[in-house]
Amino acid sequence: MELFEATALFPALSDEDYQALKADIAKNGQQDPIYFYQHRLLDGRHRLRACQELEIVPEVKEWDGECGNPLAFVTAKNLHRRHLTASQRAMIAAQLLLLINGGARKKPHPLNGEEKTENHESSDRQVAKKAQVDPKTVRKAKLVLEKGTADEIKAVTEGSKTVHKAATQIQEQPRADRRRKPRAPKKRQLSPPAMTGNEFIDKFGRALIDLASLPPSVGLIETVRKSEMAGVVDDALPKAIKWLAEFSEQWNQAWEAAEQQ
């Protein structure tokens, strides 16, 4: 499932926090809906994962314009409900600024619908205020993103190093030793990891079990049709039906051939 650009900026929950969330959903049900926008997951990736693992049909909604724009919505939902350090919040704020101010100026930005201006000082202060960090700290985070190595950026993002320490180390490096790191692509898409044969078989088996354990189709269809997932089903279902039919036929042929040997 593809994540919205700003959603992908927020670090995943720790295993301990995720297990606590999953246990709460198992006991009390899903309390908050999962939001989609333009067929991309806007908020609730951990809730979606927990529901899938618990074999619960998730409650999904199309983003309805809350907070004015999807970028502000994601920020409001995620920035303060996570246990993030000031340095982590500053890094997220700096990356949000890159999303807001990226590309040509004086054109509506696809994330917030507002025009970019040549003077970004007000945007810097606004984003820093929402992140509850000093604008100077955000500027240090921008320095880390632009000139830091992958390891330095990862250390600050994961919370093992402060943004002040990382920025100071970068500034103290001799100019000849600095390695300018290209900005991360604006669009981040989850790609499946490489799997061994046994891992693939296990994942494939779980997918079939999940499919077989879904509730009756009539009730499921009504739930999905009222959600953002309706468009995803329209796009993927014909291919899935064709693939499953071909797989079923070849599967039976393989077993018949094996029995004749």
The pLDDT tens digits of the residues spanning 62-118 come to 888 887 777 778 877 777 666 778 888 888 888 888 777 663 333 444 444 444 444
According to DSSP, the residues that pair with 60 across neighbouring strands are 34
pTM of the model: 0.50
Distance set, CA 9 to CA 3, 16, 24, 42, 139 (Å):
10, 20, 25, 12, 17
Domain ranges of the chain: 1-83, 86-100+129-191, 197-260
Paired residues of 248 in beta bridges: none
Question: Does the pLDDT at position 225 exceed 80?
Answer: no
Report the CATH number of the 1-83 domain: 3.90.1530
Percent of the chain with pLDDT over 90: 7
Whether pLDDT at 54 is above 50: yes
pLDDT at 27: 92
Pairing mode, strands 34-37 and 40-43: antiparallel
Q: Which amino acid, one-letter code, is at 256?
A: E
At 241 the three-state DSSP class reads helix
SS3 call for 37? strand
